[in-house]
Each structure stands twice: as C-alpha cells, then as structure tokens.
Amino acid sequence: MVFVVSDEVKPKNGGPSMIVTGYSSGMVECRWYDGYGIKREAFREDELLPGDGRQRRETA
C-alpha cells in the first residue's frame, strides 16, 4: 500500500493514530502526539494500516 504525506495511519500491531510526514531510505516517517509531546518514528510500509481519516487513493 502506498501512503502519501498527510495520510493518517496506524501500526498493524496496535498503537496510536499517526500522520505520515515523509519517506526516507524506504521507510515511512510518522509523527503523533502522545499527550506530552510530539513523537516520531519510521516504519516499513507493510507495518502500517490506513487510519480512519485516510482518503482512498487509486494507484496506477
């Protein structure tokens, strides 16, 4: 699945809703607010699911 910057995603193994902020070295960079501050982490695309707010996009 292809995600674009500003998509909402969630980790497959559970966790917070996050926003895609970019790509680097084949990893999807995400950020989220944990109640205390902004957190960030990079994930493989296959570790993520679309979040509730993600719009459906067709890929060519």
Q: What is the pTM of this model?
A: 0.81
- Looking at residue 51, its pLDDT comes to 85
- Looking at residue 52, its pLDDT comes to 79
pLDDT tens-digit readout, 4-58: 999 999 999 999 999 999 998 889 999 999 999 999 999 999 999 998 764 555 5
Instruction: Identify each DSSP E strand in 1-60 by its residue range.
Output: 8-11, 18-24, 27-33, 38-43, 48-50
